[in-house]
Amino acid sequence: MLETPLGPWNLGYGLIGALITVALYLASYGIRTFIAWTQREPGPKERVGFFILLAAAVGLIAGGLSHEPVEMILACQQTADPLVACLLGR
């Protein structure tokens, strides 16, 4: 785990975040292309490679920084206390 000014950063969570954001982008691109095809209109005209890299970078950062909140939620679930009360009590 790497310590950053925003908090601890975890590579495993970052890679999962990158995969999820890229998959969401590709799914939305595919849906928009399909809708354009069904309406006999030209498909989306965007630089897919750039947006895949952008989505991966955003997902890597967001996923890596989500490690600490996820660990807090898991710790609260193990105590069997109400989640909101447990998180606000920390």
The pLDDT of residue 65: 86
pLDDT tens per residue, the chain (90 residues)? Answer: 666 665 677 888 899 999 999 999 999 999 999 999 999 999 999 999 999 999 999 999 999 888 888 888 888 888 887 888 888 876
Q: Which residues pair with 9 in a beta bridge?
A: 2
Beta bridge partners of 2: 9
DSSP assignment string, 21-55: HHHHHHHHHHHHHHHHHHTT-----S-HHHHHHHH
pLDDT of residue 82: 85
SS3 74: helix
Domain boundaries, the chain: 8-88
